[in-house]
Amino acid sequence: MKVFQTKKSLQAYLNESRALNKKIGLVPTMGALHLGHTSLIEQAKHVNDIVVCSIFVNPTQFNDPKDLEKYPRTLEADIALLEDVDCDVLFNPSVEEIYDNNEKWYLDIGDLEFILEGKFRPGHYQGVMQVVYKLFDIVKPANAYFGQKDYQQFLVISKMVDLTRMEIKLTICPIVRESDGLAMSSRNRHLTAYDHELAIVLSRTLNWVKENFYKKSIDALLEEAKLLISSNPNIVFEYFEVVDGLTLKPANHQTEKVVALVAAKVGNTRLIDNILIK
């Protein structure tokens, strides 16, 4: 695996590859990699000649400086995991390599920025779009891969690609779960054993809502879901919504594509999860 820290060196290598008509795929990450990330790389390898994984903990998407500070950084372990799945290229730039001083960014994507995650993390999606736009511009991939766990993020990036007319095919890949159902996340390493056990209620509740989608009204499903998650005082419920999978507006039983999304703080760790209902 080739490792690059600078835009210039990475682009020189990728330009040589493009001259040989090699197709490039990108998997953007913030590191602390797990099997969810490697599943994206494995999917990318099926249709691309060169797969680039970026590891960059992006400061502009954190609205809480403490959250940025404690975000896990495990580069040596990440490199070993990438080598295990035969990733071709790692791009691991510094903050100074990505951002200039006093840099400005704003892209209007409408309500999508302010609902669900956007409501609880103001400014988060502007930061996500800012860094992903930069990575797309540096790597110029034909394809880019994202995990379904960050479902709203995928819609945000799709909207950005449409508005900026970037010619990149985006692929959303299924959630990879622990054997007990907990969605894999870089943040899971902050969970105590007790917190981990509690956190399983998120995926169990999502599955219960899917199983009962046609048996109850959506309002009844939401009320029951909130009660299930809020029943333990060590879980701080944030939201549980059943929405249109294309717009994230409230769904009904006739909505063509339906997704349920949840967010809660378990112990000191904030977790999100979702499930495709139909």
Local confidence band at 63 (pLDDT 50, 70, 90 cut-offs): confident
Measured CA to CA, the distance from residue 184 to residue 273 in angstroms comes to: 9
Q: What is the pLDDT of residues 21-55, one digit of tens each?
A: 999 999 999 999 999 999 999 999 999 999 999 99
Instruction: Please give the average per-residue pLDDT across 262-268, as a whole number.
Output: 97
Q: What is the predicted pLDDT for the residue at 235?
A: 98
CA-to-CA separations, 167 to 70, 108, 110, 142, 206, in angstroms, rounded = 35, 19, 22, 7, 34
**Taking the chain, what is the end-to-end CA distance rounded to the nearest angstrom?**
39
Which has more pLDDT, 64 or 179? 179
- Of all residues in the chain, what percent carry a pLDDT higher than 70? 100
Q: Which residue has the tokens 């112990």?
A: 267
Instruction: Please give the average per-residue pLDDT across 182-195, as a whole number.
Output: 96
Burial bucket for residue 75 (CB in 10 Å: 0-12, 13-18, 19+): middle
One-character DSSP codes across 205-244? HHHHHHHTTTTS-HHHHHHHHHHHHHTSTTEEEEEEEEEE
Q: At what angle do helices 151-164 and 124-139 cross, to 10 degrees?
A: 60
Q: What is the pLDDT of residues 218-251, one digit of tens each?
A: 999 999 999 999 999 999 999 999 999 999 999 9
Least confident of 94-103, 205-214, 267-276: 94-103
Asked about 37 being catalytic, the answer comes back as yes
Q: What is the pLDDT of residues 121-180, one digit of tens each?
A: 999 999 999 999 999 999 999 999 999 999 999 999 999 999 999 999 999 999 999 999
Q: What is the pLDDT of residues 69-120, one digit of tens each?
A: 989 999 999 999 999 999 999 999 999 999 998 889 999 999 999 999 999 9
Burial bucket for residue 227 (CB in 10 Å: 0-12, 13-18, 19+): exposed
Residue 273: strand pairing partners: 262
Q: Are 209 and 277 in contact (CB under 8 A)?
A: yes
Widest Cα–Cα separation across the chain: 58
Q: What is the predicted pLDDT for the residue at 64?
A: 86
Q: Are 203 and 181 in contact (CB under 8 A)?
A: yes
The H or E element containing residue 49 is none
Name the catalytic one among 34, 37, 46, 190.
Answer: 37
Measured CA to CA, the distance from residue 16 to residue 252 in angstroms comes to: 51
Q: Report pTM.
A: 0.96
What domains does the chain contain, in order, with CATH numbers?
A: 2-173 (3.40.50.620), 186-272 (3.30.1300.10)
Q: What is the predicted pLDDT for the residue at 14?
A: 98
Compute how many other C-beta atoms are within 10 angstroms of the C-beta atom of residue 49. 15
